Structure formats: C-alpha cells, structure tokens
Structure 1
Amino acid sequence: MSQTRDDRPQAVDAATQASETVSEENYARGLGSRQVQMIAIGGAIGVGLFLGAGANIEKAGPSLILMYAVAGVIVFFIMRALGELLLYRPVSGSFAEYAREFLGPFWGFATGWTYWLLWVVTGMAELTAAAIYVNYWFPAVPQWVTALTFLVVLFVANLISVKIFGEIEFWFSMVKVTALIGMIVVGLGVLTFGFSQAGDTASASNLWAFDGFFPKGIGSSLMTLQGVMFAYLAVELVGVTAGESEEPEKTLPKAINTLPFRIIVFYVGALSVILMVVKWTEFHAGVSPFVAAFAKIGIPAGAAIVNFVVLTAALSSCNSGMYSTGRMLRDLAANDEAWKALGRLNSSRTPALAITVSAALMGFGVILNYVVPEKAFGYVTSVATAAGIWTWMMILVSHIRYRRQVVAGRLPASSFPAPCGSLFSWIALAFLLMVIVLIAIDPNARISLFVGAGWAAVLTIGWALLRNRQSHTPHAVNND
C-alpha cells in the first residue's frame, strides 16, 4: 500500500501534464475551478441561516454572532483536516474512503451509509419545502406536483453529466451569495446614512443595549450551537467533488482556504448587520430574520425576495444531495458494501443507477411528507445533525491517524498540510463532543441522539449480515 501511495504524486503530475479528463475512479473531471469555488461557497450558505437563525436569535440574542464565529473556526479546522487528506489521495468516496483506510472497513461502511442517509433524508425535506415556497406565489398548484417537477428536473440534470450539476449549483449559489451581499450593503447603508424606517433606531449599540451581549446568559447561548452546526452542514461537500475536479491540487486548497472569509462575510457579517439594524428582541422563531429586517427597513418585496432565496437554497441542497448520494453509493458498491450494479457508470461517466435509487427514495419522501404533519421536518433536522456530526468526527479521526502514519514515515506527506499537524483536529473533535453533550441536555434536540443510536444499531446488524454473506461467498471480496 505504501508503495502505491508513494507513486501517487508522480501519477497525478503525469495526469496533469497530459491534461487527462478522467480520474482514477473513471469519473469525468468536469468540474472547473469556477464551479468548485461556488459549490464551496454555496455549501456554507443554507436554509439553516435563512430560516433557522430566527429561533437562535430569540434564544441567545446578539451573542449568536459569537457562536457562529466560534463554530466557523471549528468548521475551518475540519475542512483543513479534510483538505490534507484530499490532497494526499483525492477520491470521490472521500470521508468513507479515508475512514476505511485509517480506521478499518466497518468505519468506511458506516460513514458511507451515514452520509448517504444524511443527503437522502435532507433531500426528502427540501423537495417538500421547495414546493411550499412555490406555493407562496402559486397557491392553486398542488404541492406534490411542484415537488415531483423539481425532483425530475434535478434528477435528469444529475444523470446527464457532472458539468450540468456543477453549472446548476453555480447559479443556485450565486443567488444566495448575491442576496446576502445585498442585505449587508443595504444594512450598512441604513447604519451609515440613516435612511428608511429603520434609520432612527439602527445603531451598533443594539448589539449590547438590550440586556447586554449575552441577554439570556452564556448557557443559553451555548445551547444554540447545535442549530449553528446544522447551518454549516454541507460545507464538506467540496470533498466529494475531488474525484471530478479538473485540477484538484489547485481548486480544493483555494476553496478551503477561502472558507474563513466566507464565514466572516456571510454568517458573522450578515448577522451583525441585521442585529445592528433591528434590535434582537424583535426576532422570533418561525420568522426569517432576513424577512423581519427587510420589513423593518421598509422594502415591500422583502418577503418575496427571501422566499425566492430560500427556495434556491432548498433546491441547491436537493441538487447536492443527488450528486453526493450517487457518489457514496458507488464507493460503497466498489467496496462490496452495496449492490455491485450501483457502481456502474453510464456513457457520460455518472453513476446513473446509484443516482436513480437515491432519487427514488427522495421521491418516496415527498409522498411521506405530504401525508404526515410538519413535525416530520423536525425529525429530518435531527437525523441530518446526527449524521453530519458523525461525518465530521470521522474526518477528524482519520486525519489524526493519517498524521501518525506520516510522522512514522509510512505514508507520504500531503501537499496541503493542516496547520499544527493534528492539534486542531483534536480541538475540533473535543468541540463536537461538547456539542453532543449539549444536544443530550436539550430535551427538544435529544431525539437526534436516539435516532443516531438506532441508526448505529442498523449499521451494526447490516455489517454483521454483510460479513456473514462474504464469508459464504469468498469470491465476492475479490471482485473489487
């Protein structure tokens, strides 16, 4: 294995010089730098920010800005750990492949299926949510028709080629970025020139004038970290694109290194401006803080604008879900941990059957969410949070194990090493464990731990059955 790893950098250089368009996994390298950069940006801007921030502001007040900043630092540590692994061996299996290599076959199996579950379940909710957002403009159109239309369009786009997926994601991300920058510019204009209905009360002092920066105590602020971490889910998606990026050695480090800037601008910056323009006591759960800010400023189309942006964020999430689930299923199939046929590529080098299976399950979710109460979305969020934290923890532990192998001289060093070796990975791991403790304390979020325990039991049983099948069919292991 070590010899193969040692040969990898030379092989990559040769491939780059020859301008190859196919990765070692036979994927088409159809994602250019422009698309990868925007996928990375879009991954850091989700529905959790546009909608979920309202409830967290009500819980923590202005201190939510600090929570997003601290969590953003941790997410950057996670991404630098992932970046070092990606440049050591860029594969679309990403986290599952690294867990399999550095922790063992079971951990790769569990990580791959968990990340697949995260995006399938999220896709179920986002499709239904997108239909609800469209209902804002077209109430006469049945929600199931809209959801089905979105599902078919995104499914076909993902099936045709990775380049089309990348282009769709580019424009989805562009809408989100433009909306946030516009909100920040308008807010700064109100603060500087005092125009609009909010001009008389807009002030930086709104960040501490109403019961201080921690109006409900530090404990209450810490309890928002679970929701804050949920808002950052999907930032790791750039890792799945490694096997299909045109120049992963250039695009991936650039995408990861610009993450702090994106967090400062889109999370810390946007929330700071909003909370200076409108005092925190006017924000409430269930209402987007962006809608409330637009209304206070006096922009009549504010609700419609935010509704369109959130629709875009939901479709972006579903689009990413189809992409990532297809790649994860193929990776599992390649390691004999899923049906072998799921590993086949079509003529445009996309895992067509794997994408089809995932899309079909998302379609089932549309039906399910149509007939059950809206509480289903709360359960979906819980599943996504548990699966996301698991994925991040596997990235960190795999990175720590990789660093040990490098120090021992058994594996080559990555061309994109994380700062301070594995120190920041240990810090991030401790932080995630603290978040799990906070989730256990919060009765409203505790369900995610129950879901996680149930899923762990399913994976353990599935692994035992898989190993039993392999022991009775020894040639199955050799089919890789």
Structure 2
Amino acid sequence: MAQPELKRELANRHVQLIAIGGTIGTGLFLGSGKAIQQAGPSIMFTYFIVGIAVFFVMRALGELLLSKAGYQSFTDIAEDYLGSRAAFITGWTYWFCWIMTAMADVIAVGVYVQYWFDIPQWVPAIVCLIILLGLNLLTVKNFGELEFWFALIKVITILALIGIGVILLIMGFKTDAGSVTVRNLWEHGGVFPNGISGFLFSFQMVVFAYVGVELVGVSAAETANPEKNIPSAINKIPLRILFFYVGALFVLLCINPWTELSPAESPFVKTFTLVGIPIAAGIINFVVLTSAASACNSGMFSTSRILYNLSKKQQASSHFAKLNKNHVPGNSLFISTLVISVGALLSKLIPEQAFGIVTTISAICFIWVWGVVLVCHIRYKKTRPELQAQSKFKAPFTPFINYVVLALFAGILIIMLFASETRPALLFTPLWFILLFMLYPNRSKREKSSSIATNIK
C-alpha cells in the first residue's frame, strides 16, 4: 500500500504571503525596540545589511531547491553535498531554531495581552498554542490561509504606519516628545548615538527579525508549481526589506526620537500612543499580537515538517512520519507544540530574561542553517557544473558573495561574544551541536542493526 504523502495545497498567494509573513514578525514589532535602544537611528543600516545578506542566502537556496526535483527541504540539500551527518545536525538544528523562535513568539503573545489584561504572561501563551494546534491539525491549506490573513494584517498595518508618518511629516505634527521631523534621526546624539559598539551589538536582534524568511524553502514540498512560485517569492524579498523594515523604521524614528522608545515594549504601539491616538494604539497592539500568533503558527508548521522529514530519513522516531487523515504530520505537530510550550514556562519563571535568551539562541542556530545553505551552494557550483549550467534561477555574484555573507555571519557571532546579554547563550549553544554530533553515530548503529534484523527475517 502506498504511503500517504504531504499534499501540495499551497497556492501562489499562500507562498507569497508566507514569504512576507516570514520577514515581518516579532523581531520587528517587539525586538526592534531593543535594537533601537542599542543602535539608535543606525539600526536602519543594520536591517539593510542583514536583509541583503539573507536575500543572497535565499537566492542560493532557491537555485539549489530547483536544481533537483526530489528536494523537499534544505536538509535534503545538506545530505547531498555535505553528507548524512551534516544533514542530521542541520535538520535537528533547524527544528531547534524554530522551537526557540516559537517560544519567543508565545512569550510575546503574553506581553501583548498584558496591554489590556493584568494576567500572567503564560496564560494567553498556552491558549494561543492550543488554538493554533487545533487549526494546524486539519489541513496544510489551513496553515496557508492563516498565514495569508495574518500577513495581510501586517502589511496593511505597516502601510498605514508609513502613510500616517508621511502625512505627519508634511504637517509638521507635534507630539508630547516633540516635532515629527527627519531631524530626529540625528538631533539626539547623531545617527550612531552609542558609537560603533552599539551599532554592532544590534545585529543579534536584527538577525532574529529575519528568521523565517527561508520558510519558502520549507514549504516547497507542499507548494503547487514551485518552479514559478519559489523564484517569484524570493525575488521580491529586497523590495520588502527596503519598504517594510527600513521604511517603517525610518517613519518610526522621525515620529519618535529614539530616546523615547523602550526596549520592553513595541515601538509601533508606543508611536501611536505618542501621536495621541490611544484607540489606534490599542488596534496596533492587536495587530502585533496577531503577528506574534502568525510567527508562532509558522514555527509550529516548520517544526512539524522538519521532524516529519527527519523521520522519513530514519533520523528521528518513525512515529513522527505518520500523517493523519488530512495528510498532516500530527505526531510531529503535537510533540513540537509540547516543546514550544516550554516558552510559556520560561515566561513564568524568568519573565524579564526569557525573550532575550530564546531570541539569541534562535539567531545563533539560524546563522548555522543559513551558513550550511551557502556552503552547499559553493559545493554545488564546484561538483555539479552541469546542473549549474542548466539552472534557470542562478544565484548572482556566486561564489564570491557566499564567502562575503559567511564572513558577515562569523563576525556577528564574534560580536555576540563581547555583549554581556548574548554571551551566555553563545557559550551554551555549542553544547547542542556537540550533543547532535555524539547522537549521530548511535543512530547510524541502530539503523544498521535494524537492517541486519530485517535481512535475517
């Protein structure tokens, strides 16, 4: 009997909005407050630099995914070019990446709900997880529809913010913090008010802001017509970076002097409060709440699919490869959601530090995954020139740009070592890779034993 497979139920509009949703999330709506406090107005340069680097990662991933019809995720690519051990480590690390990211998102859900209700952060976090789990257990189309509408809300919000900001600039509007003017970008200590060190220390949170952009690749197995939809989604990333990140931050920093923004709250909500529109501030808080739920939804989707793929490759329990009647990996989804719920526990135990810890670990692990994509692309160009010659979606400026981006990622990790807030997570995270390196041989031995037993029978 043929085994059920994942369904290709994601249409072009789903893929396009998943791409947008993956690049607009908690890192921008909440994390940017902390990044602004570190870098001041120079944060716009940080978002631009990391955004362009991520675009080149995505171009490399897109070319690799379309070079072979059998690829369902970049773990398949890692196995092809770097071996099964690298695929094992990368696959489990990607799962861990999204576990940490989703933890950050459920923590953010608790923070946003406290804007209206004085209740413990962990309560709305658990409620959010239960609702999303129920919806994701139905069909992959539900995931696509959820992301479509969540992302649409984000886009409309940022468009409204930019539009209102431009109007306020033209009017010369005055808030409690002063005039709305472009001069706010340099009149409060300059563009680099905390020096180069503040600018450099902001890179960690900005890296976290971009996590999820590679969901275009993860969703390849469930995308109708990937040859058309994936390149289309990837090629629009630079415009989205310039508009949704740099454009939104430009408007925010013109309306508010950067000194008025708190790292503990969303600068988007704070902006509308300063403008004197409390009702709008409440609406924006609802929007950033849906954004966090959207990012958590993406986390549940990606962790379940990566666990499903690991199981199919016998790198995880066979139970995780089982699909329910709706062709959704229910067991993988359930166990991933259970682990994500630890984020709610962290928000109860260490509410002040929880968000910073999980975002740092997430950023470090995503740098590993993105780095693996770039290294695989370098290997692809060297060892498969015939495939590269036939490619209809060639990554530009390679392999030179691959080395440049890898050097940038290495530099960001070094910077994290010098920041007191990120150093503990940076020193802890290598233990995860050591654990995976040690577990892989044991998995290989079990596979061989299983194969021998099967042959005897």
TM-score (structure 1 length as normaliser): 0.88
> Could you tell me how far apart the structure 1 residues matched to 2:350 and 2:194 are?
35
Q: Distance in 1 between matches of 2:132 and 2:70?
A: 24
Return the letter of the residue paired with 1:105: S
* CA displacement at 1:466 relative to structure 2: 1.1
* 2:122/2:347 contact within 8 Å kept: no
SS in 1 for 2:323: coil
Is residue 173–residue 179 contact of structure 2 (8 Å, CA) maintained in 1? no
Please say if 1:345 is aligned against 2:323.
Answer: yes
1:444 is matched with which residue? 421
The change in CA–CA distance for 1:285 and 1:394 in structure 2 (over 3 A counts) is same
Instruction: Determine which of 431, 437, 460 is the counterpart of 2:408.
Output: 431
Residues 318/90 of structure 1: CA separation in 2 closer, same or farther (3 Å cut) = farther
- The one-letter code matched in structure 2 to 1:68 is Y
Work out whether residues 59 and 220 of structure 1, in 8 Å CA contact, stay in contact via their aligned partners in 2: yes
Residue 10 of structure 2 corresponds to which residue in structure 1? 31
Q: Quick one: which of 182, 193, 197 aligns to 2:175? A: 197
* Residue of 148, 155, 164 corresponding to 1:170: 148
Structure 2 partner of 1:467: 444
Distance 2:226 2:453 in 1: 32
- Residue 118, structure 1, aligned to residue 118, structure 2: no
Task: Say yes or no: does 1:379 pair with 2:357.
Answer: yes
2:71/2:77 contact within 8 Å kept: no
Q: Is the 8 A contact 2:30 2:108 kept in 1?
A: no
For 1:62-94, what per-residue CA distance to the aligned partner results, in whole angstroms no more than 9, with x for missing partners? 111111111111111111111111211366741
The answer to whether the 8 A contact 1:196-1:298 is kept is no
Q: Secondary structure at the match of 1:160?
A: coil
Q: Is the 8 A contact 1:25 1:91 kept in 2?
A: no
Give me the whole-angstrom Cα distance separating, in 2, the residues matched to 1:61 and 1:118. 28
Alignment of 1:311-330 (within 5 A): 311-330=289-308
Q: Which residue of 1 aligns with 2:57?
A: 78
Q: Structure 1 residue 445: deviation in Å?
A: 0.7
Does the aligned pair in 2 maintain the 1:470–1:476 contact within 8 Å? no
Give yes or no for the alignment of 1:273 onto 2:241.
Answer: no
Q: Offset at 1:111? A: 0.8
Amino acid in the other structure paired with 1:117? F
With over 3 angstroms needed to count, the CA separation of the structure-2 counterparts of 1:243 and 1:477, relative to structure 1, is farther
How much identity, in percent, do the aligned residues show?
A: 42
Q: Distance in 2 between matches of 1:156 and 1:70?
A: 38
- Compute the displacement of 1:302 (Å): 4.0
Is 1:69 aligned to residue 48 of structure 2?
yes
Q: CA deviation at 1:375?
A: 2.1
Residues 83-131 of structure 1, C-alpha deviations (whole Å, 9 max, x = no match): 1112113667412111111101011001110111122233234234324
- Shift in CA distance, 367/226, structure 1 to aligned 2, threshold 3 Å: closer
2:48 counterpart letter in structure 1: A
25 and 113 in structure 1: CA distance in 2 versus 1, 3 angstrom threshold: farther
Tell me which amino acid in the other structure corresponds to 1:436: L
CA RMSD of aligned residues (A): 2.3
Task: Return 5+ residue gaps in structure 1 as ranges.
Answer: 1-23
Is 1:95 the counterpart of 2:74? The answer is yes
How many angstroms apart in 2 are the aligned matches of 1:216 and 1:161? 48
Alignment correspondent of 1:8:
none
Structure-1 residue corresponding to 2:391: 414
Residues 278-306 of structure 1: CA distance to partner in whole angstroms, max 9, x if unpaired? Answer: 22232232232222321222212243223
Alignment of 1:10-21 (within 5 A): none
The one-letter code of the counterpart of 1:329 is L
User: Which secondary structure state, in structure 1, belongs to the residue aligned with residue 137 of structure 2?
Assistant: helix
Query: Within 5 A, what are the aligned runs for 1:231-310?
Result: 231-310=209-288
Residue 415 of structure 2 aligns with an amino acid whose one-letter code is L
Residue aligned with 2:248, SS: helix
Q: How many residues align?
A: 453
What is the distance in 2 between the residues matched to 1:189 and 1:436? 40
- TM-score of the superposed pair, with normalisation by structure 2: 0.93
Q: Is the 8 A contact 1:382 1:445 kept in 2?
A: yes
Q: 1:322 to 1:336 in 2, by over 3 A?
A: same
Give the drift of 1:156.
Answer: 1.9
Q: Which residue of 1 aligns with 2:23?
A: 44
Give the equivalent residue in structure 2 for 1:14: none
Contact map agreement 1:333 1:343 (CA 8 A) in 2: yes
